[in-house]
Amino acid sequence: MEFFNFHTHQFTNQSNVLELVNQYPKEFDATILHYSIGIHPWYIQEDTIDADLKIMEEKLQSANCLAIGECGLDKRIDIPLELQISVFKKQLILAEQYNKPVVIHCVAAFQEVIALKKEMKISVPMVIHGFSKNSQVASQLLKEGFYISFGKYLLRNPDLETVFKEIPNDRFFLETDTIEETIQQVYDVAASYKNIEIKKLQNIISSNFVAVFKR
């Protein structure tokens, strides 16, 4: 593995990239090599939650399923936060049961996510994907044991350079999510911001991959 794409919705099947492809229970694609599976807060449907969780539990037992998610909380959508929290908690229980890391979608709900981690005594790694906030939020997440993944906003928002530089090397991942740019392009920007060679960055992320995914 030269490159690890922590979170993507596009399976490109490149030989030098390990892609953690986001999958939804209702739209599962068995041809994808490595994936996460979860109920995204945007797509919660009360009448299918139990069926979705059942599919998730089945897939979690596969070696190709590396993580749960993306799942989490989003205060900028119409789905009631109470329902989102209920569905998120059920997925965190599965993550603990099957010892899988969690890919987290979090919009304007960092305090709630942190509180749930503490309340439920979650021991598996929790990774905030698509981080775009300031150093204060990043620092609080790191203090509470979260990992942070960077992608689109690292390319789009120059102000994030300062935040990214402050992230300890053993606590971050890189991703493409839904953008058209390649993971190699994200690595290029990240290496430039950290002022290190690509090879060093690859080694850092490979070590983080082993630490989080136990592979």
Q: Decide if 113 contacts 138 (C-beta within 8 A).
A: no
d(CA 14, CA 4): 11
d(CA 27, CA 198): 35
d(CA 88, CA 69): 10
Which residue's entry shows tokens 């991942």? 173
Q: Decide if 110 contacts 137 (C-beta within 8 A).
A: yes
d(CA 124, CA 138): 19
Has 105 been labeled as part of a binding site? yes
Please compute the mean of the pLDDT values over residues 21-38 and round it to a whole number: 96
d(CA 175, CA 105): 13
Q: Decide if 65 contacts 95 (C-beta within 8 A).
A: no
Query: Residue 215's pLDDT band (boundaries 50, 70, 90)?
Result: confident
Query: Residue 175's pLDDT band (boundaries 50, 70, 90)?
Result: very high
What residues does 150 pair with on adjacent strands? 174
Q: For residue 152, what are the CA distances in angstroms to 18, 144, 179? A: 18, 24, 7
The mean of the pLDDT values for the chain is: 97
Q: Take residue 104 and report the two structure tokens written for it.
A: 């987290």
Residue 194 class from Cβ within 10 Å (0-12 exposed, 13-18 middle, 19+ buried)?
middle
pLDDT tens track for 30-60: 999 999 999 999 999 999 999 999 999 999 9
Give residue 132's Cα distance to chain centre: 13
Has 7 been labeled as part of a binding site? no
Buried b (16+ CB within 10 A) or exposed e, 14-24: eeebbbbbbbb
CATH number for region 125-215 = 3.20.20.140
Buried b (16+ CB within 10 A) or exposed e, 75-90: eeeebeeeebbebbeb
| Phi-psi sector, 187: left (phi>0), alpha (psi -120 to 50), beta | alpha
pLDDT of residue 1: 87
Has 177 been labeled as part of a binding site? yes
Query: Residue 149's pLDDT band (boundaries 50, 70, 90)?
Result: very high
Q: What is the pTM of this model?
A: 0.97
CB atoms within 10 A of CB 165: 11
